[in-house]
Amino acid sequence: MRILKYCRLSFIILMLGCASARAGIESVSPQEASAMYAGQKAVIVDVREDSEWNAQHIPGAIHIPLGQLNDRLSEFKSYKDSPVITQCRSGGRSAKALDLLKSAGFSNVYNMDGGIIAWDKAGLKTE
């Protein structure tokens, strides 16, 4: 019985730790991302694979698959202090991209909640 209580307590502590780690991620809704982008106050970086990009993407977004992002950071030097919105299919890969960009010194990075799926559901333009 004592072991079961310990396991439950450990699980709760672990889950709270994961939630607080994710809470540190700055995120924006597709509507907020669209407004920031339309007002030329941000760039959108799509970190999906080529096939996903070719099927549908946000017009004007920069496409760099997540696996290539670290090697292509030099392409982003001019955006280091500008708002950068990372975007993928549903938000998982773009959260990883956000972490990578922040660790590379980018100071103003956001993850788009729900990715291209949420963007599409919101009725926002894609190509």
Task: Tell me the pairing of strands 84-87 and 109-112.
Answer: parallel
**pLDDT bucket at 81, cuts 50 / 70 / 90:** confident
Residue 24's identity, in one-letter code, is: G
Looking at CATH, the fold of the domain delimited by 26-121 is given as Oxidized Rhodanese; domain 1 (3.40.250)
Which are the catalytic amino acids? 88
Question: What are the tens digits of pLDDT across the range 7-31?
Answer: 343 333 333 333 333 445 699 999 9
CA dist 96 and 112 (Å) reads: 12
**pLDDT bucket at 112, cuts 50 / 70 / 90:** very high
Q: Is the pLDDT of residue 74 over 50?
A: yes
Q: Is the pLDDT of residue 109 over 90?
A: yes
Read out DSSP for 79-104? GTTS-EEEE-SSSHHHHHHHHHHHHT
